[in-house]
């Protein structure tokens, strides 16, 4: 696994040149301005599909353009994605619509679809979301939430140490600089903790700074928390809602995934993302399908 070294440049925004920005780029159609064209890059694969967080960020970027135009509501505040079918590398379209334009929030929908060879559309992801301007947010903070404790990044475990069988199916990991807390990786050694918790440090290896759109990827970028329960195999997402609570400062993100209730064939997977200033910048929960025993 190639890992681009990042030093003090971690705060440097390489803008549209970054892999993340290329992977979530959308082009507005001149003839149909609510439709955006995109290309799903195989480098963001997990299993045979494209990572759900990347798709959410891509649809989220189209909605940012669509809702932000004229309102300044460019930042995702609450984004709910319902995953309908597995995406494949190749062309995709995002069809957006405004539901309501308000003073502080604008709400809209996005439908990410791909086409069969005969042109029939197949919807992959439906999004309902509210956008605002997080820079305008009131500064008052009263929080009882505290950042997770974990060793510094250089004492954590890079994903190059993940089982090869997993890496082979997770091209996505080559696009992330992810360092897992050693206490979270027992599953890789055949000793899952059983606690249902995986946490680590995350940044983009090319130095692209975190921002609200990148947080939509961050909430779904770690290995499935079911690994820590000794359940391998994929956990398809039914629904994921992310709340972006603040714009992150440059630097590392700390990400915690946890689950408390695996029952009836589903589990919830909660994610919290903290920025380098120690602020809780995103919270999410997804409902996922429990993997079947191999």
Which residues lie near its own copies (CB under 8 A)?
A: 77-78, 80, 82, 84-85, 99-100, 102, 105, 107, 109, 123, 126, 128-130, 134, 137-145, 195-196, 229, 238-239, 241, 243, 245-246, 260-266, 268, 279-280, 283, 285, 287, 290
Least Cβ distance, residue 2 to its own copies (angstroms): 37
Task: Determine whether 268 is exposed, middle or buried from the number of CB atoms within 10 Å of its CB (0-12, 13-18, 19+).
Answer: middle
Alpha-carbon span 247 to 117, nearest angstrom: 41
Q: Any residues with CB less than 8 A from the CB of 96 and at least 6 apart, and which?
A: 34, 35, 36, 62, 63, 66, 67, 108, 109, 110, 111
Alpha-carbon span 251 to 208, nearest angstrom: 9
CB of 1 or CB of 141, closer to its own copies: 141
Q: Determine the distance from the C-alpha atom of residue 144 to the mean position of all C-alpha atoms in its chain, rounded to a whole number.
A: 24
> What is the DSSP pairing of strand 106-115 with strand 121-132?
antiparallel
Six token digits for residue 73: 């509501």
| Cα distance between the two ends of the chain | 26
Least Cβ distance, residue 105 to its own copies (angstroms): 7
Least Cβ distance, residue 264 to its own copies (angstroms): 3
Give me Rg for the CA atoms of the chain.
18
CB of 18 or CB of 130, closer to its own copies: 130
CB of 103 or CB of 189, closer to its own copies: 103
Alpha-carbon span 28 to 37, nearest angstrom: 6
CB of 134 or CB of 170, closer to its own copies: 134
CB of 13 or CB of 239, closer to its own copies: 239
Least Cβ distance, residue 136 to its own copies (angstroms): 9
**CB distance 177 to 6 below 8 Å:** yes
Least Cβ distance, residue 15 to its own copies (angstroms): 25
CB of 31 or CB of 261, closer to its own copies: 261
Least Cβ distance, residue 200 to its own copies (angstroms): 20
């Amino acid at each position: 696994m190639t890992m681009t070294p990042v030093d003090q440049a971690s705060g440097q925004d390489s803008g549209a040149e970054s892999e993340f920005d290329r992977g979530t780029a959308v082009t507005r159609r001149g003839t149909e301005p609510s439709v955006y064209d995109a290309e799903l890059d195989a480098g963001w694969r997990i299993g045979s599909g494209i990572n759900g967080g990347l798709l959410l960020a891509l649809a989220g970027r189209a909605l940012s353009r669509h809702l932000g135009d004229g309102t300044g509501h460019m930042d995702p505040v609450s984004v709910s994605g319902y995953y309908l079918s597995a995406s494949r590398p190749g062309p995709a379209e995002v069809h957006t619509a405004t539901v309501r334009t308000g003073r502080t929030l604008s709400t809209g929908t996005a439908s990410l679809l791909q086409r069969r060879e005969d042109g029939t559309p197949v919807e992959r992801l439906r999004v309902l979301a509210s956008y605002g301007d997080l820079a305008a947010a009131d500064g008052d903070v009263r929080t009882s939430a505290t950042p997770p404790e974990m060793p510094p990044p250089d004492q954590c475990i890079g994903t190059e140490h993940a089982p090869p069988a997993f890496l082979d199916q997770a091209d996505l990991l080559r696009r992330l600089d992810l360092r897992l807390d050693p206490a979270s990786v027992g599953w890789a050694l055949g000793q899952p903790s059983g606690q249902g918790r995986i946490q680590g440090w995350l940044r983009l290896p090319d130095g692209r700074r975190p921002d609200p759109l990148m947080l939509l990827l961050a909430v779904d970028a770690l290995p499935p928390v079911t690994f820590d329960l000794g359940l391998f195999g994929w956990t398809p997402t039914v629904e994921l809602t992310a709340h972006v609570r603040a714009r992150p400062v440059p630097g590392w993100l700390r990400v915690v995934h946890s689950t408390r209730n695996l029952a009836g064939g589903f589990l919830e997977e909660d994610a919290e993302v903290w920025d380098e200033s120690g602020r809780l910048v995103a919270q999410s929960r997804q409902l996922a399908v429990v993997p079947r025993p191999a």
